[in-house]
């Protein structure tokens, strides 16, 4: 069997139509550093015997099969991964304890355990676990409970870059220690049951590394987060379907010059749309529908340069779509459909005055919705 190929360091069988079980003999390939079964039709159970001697394993991709991982209680993997992709394997229903030992922060690991049938509370050691990963995807499970209130005192501030917890059932508030993850580039907490305010985070550097923030479809309240004043690299912000209130900040355009997608739909924001757009801005998707924005539409919409081009021009113009500008493509997640769509939706607010002539300069617009306001004058 396969166990004879003991010289193998890399075994890549990804994207085939392999069926059946993975032979236990694979555990004898003690020199393996990379093992990939990505996208096959493999079934059956993997136990600790499959991994018995794989002490050198660094890259493991089991995603896109129908495999169940069933290890005995207290099993500690003999390897430390830089990359572990387990999406759509069955690791549940309990939160898998072995997963906390599977990485070592020295090698900036990426761990994808999305859609793995975990139906459990977040473990008490969650922050300790986070301190050992750079990128973690736990989305599309049935995670309950709340995010732990504080980081363990002996923890060095985690090096976490990407945290994806969307499509779970996490409740409670976003704890203040969130502000200590000052290297975060992407956070997705959308489609959970979070309540309370988004921490304002007064720590100097917090916010400056963000490229993507999605906290939509929760029950969050309070004001627009002030740490976003530092978010100069943020390209995607979605806070829609919450209960956020207070004035729309006037500083959005100047403080977030890289913003391409802004979605604040279905909140309780009020005040004017006095965003001073400069010529250089990248914004091409603006959805502030179903709020309580008043006043008139500013003539500075003429500066929405990214909306003046058609889709193909736009790509040449910016040189990058959102999905390309997000560095962490390896976690196979792209922003649904907003990539090249050019849209303005300000429907169902309390806008008054007339529609500014300057809107006609936005030749790239694919969708313009101003319905449900109190606009008057000529079109």
Per-residue pLDDT of the chain (379 residues; tens, 9 = 90+): 777 888 999 999 999 999 999 999 999 999 999 999 999 999 999 999 999 999 999 999 999 999 999 999 999 999 999 999 999 999 999 999 999 999 988 889 999 999 999 999 999 999 888 888 999 999 999 999 999 888 877 777 778 999 999 999 999 999 998 998 889 999 999 999 999 999 999 877 899 999 999 999 999 999 999 999 999 999 999 999 999 999 999 999 899 999 999 999 999 999 998 877 777 689 999 999 999 999 999 888 888 999 987 666 545 444 433 433 333 333 434 444 556 789 999 999 999 999 999 999 999 999 999 999 999 998 8
Supply φ then ψ for residue 219, to 5 degrees.
Answer: -130, 35
Contacts with 251 (C-beta within 8 Å, 6 or more apart), sequence order:
229
CB 274 within 8 A of CB 298: yes
Q: Report how far apart the first and last C-alpha atoms of the chain are (Å, whole number).
A: 75
Helix/strand/coil (H, E, C) string of 139-175? CCCCCECECCCCCCCCCCCCCCCEEECCCCCCEECCC
Q: What is the DSSP letter of 90?
A: B
CB 265 within 8 A of CB 289: yes
Q: Look at residue 311 in the predicted model and tell me its pLDDT.
A: 61
SS3 214: strand
SS3 262: strand
Whole-model pTM?
0.92
Cα torsion angle, 157, 200, 195, 265, sign: negative
The conformational region for residue 194 under phi > 0 = left, psi -120 to 50 = alpha, else beta, is beta
Contacts with 283 (C-beta within 8 Å, 6 or more apart), sequence order:
253, 259, 260, 261, 262, 277, 304, 306, 307
Spatial separation of the C-alpha atoms in residues 295 and 274, rounded to whole Å: 9
Spatial separation of the C-alpha atoms in residues 184 and 213, rounded to whole Å: 10
The conformational region for residue 229 under phi > 0 = left, psi -120 to 50 = alpha, else beta, is alpha
Q: Look at residue 334 in the predicted model and tell me its pLDDT.
A: 44
Rg (CA), the chain: 24
Q: 159 is written with which tokens?
A: 């090096």
Spatial separation of the C-alpha atoms in residues 129 and 105, rounded to whole Å: 10
Spatial separation of the C-alpha atoms in residues 263 and 87, rounded to whole Å: 28
Q: Look at residue 338 in the predicted model and tell me its pLDDT.
A: 59
Residue for token digits 């736009």?
A: 314
Closest CA to 76 of 96, 61, 56, 58: 96
Closest CA to 77 of 47, 111, 122: 47
């Amino acid at each position: 069997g396969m166990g004879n190929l003991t010289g193998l360091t890399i075994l890549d069988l990804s994207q085939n139509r392999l069926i059946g079980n993975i032979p236990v003999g694979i555990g004898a390939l003690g020199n393996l550093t990379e093992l990939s079964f990505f996208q096959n039709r493999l079934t059956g159970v993997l136990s600790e015997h499959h991994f018995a001697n794989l002490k050198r394993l660094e890259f493991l991709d089991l995603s896109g099969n129908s495999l169940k991982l069933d290890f005995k209680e207290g099993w500690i993997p003999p390897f430390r991964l830089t990359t572990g992709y387990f999406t759509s394997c069955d690791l549940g229903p309990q939160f898998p304890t072995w997963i906390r030992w599977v990485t070592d922060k020295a090698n900036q690991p990426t761990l994808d355990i999305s859609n793995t049938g975990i139906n459990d509370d977040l473990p008490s050691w969650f922050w300790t676990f986070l301190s050992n990963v750079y990128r973690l995807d736990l989305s599309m499970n049935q995670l309950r409970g709340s995010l732990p209130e504080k980081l363990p005192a002996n923890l060095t501030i985690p090096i976490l870059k990407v945290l994806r917890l969307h499509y779970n059932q996490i409740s409670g508030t976003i704890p203040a220690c969130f502000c200590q993850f000052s290297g975060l580039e992407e956070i997705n907490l959308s489609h959970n049951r979070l309540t309370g305010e988004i921490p304002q985070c007064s720590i100097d550097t917090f916010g400056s590394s963000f490229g993507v923030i999605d906290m939509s479809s929760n029950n969050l309240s309070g004001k627009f987060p002030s740490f976003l004043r530092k978010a100069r690299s943020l390209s995607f912000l979605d806070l829609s379907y919450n209960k956020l209130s207070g004035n729309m900040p006037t500083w959005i355009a100047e403080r977030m010059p890289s913003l391409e997608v802004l979605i604040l739909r279905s909140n309780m924001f009020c005040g004017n749309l006095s965003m001073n757009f400069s010529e250089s801005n990248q914004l091409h998707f603006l959805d502030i529908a179903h709020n309580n924005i008043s006043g008139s539409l500013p003539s500075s919409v003429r500066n929405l340069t990214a909306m003046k081009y058609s889709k193909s021009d736009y790509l040449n113009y910016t040189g990058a779509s959102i999905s390309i500008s997000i560095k962490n493509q390896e976690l196979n997640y792209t922003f649904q459909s907003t990539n090249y769509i050019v849209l303005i939706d300000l429907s169902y607010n309390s806008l008054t005055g007339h529609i500014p002539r300057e809107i006609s300069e936005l030749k790239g617009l694919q969708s313009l919705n101003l319905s449900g306001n109190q606009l008057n004058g000529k079109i």
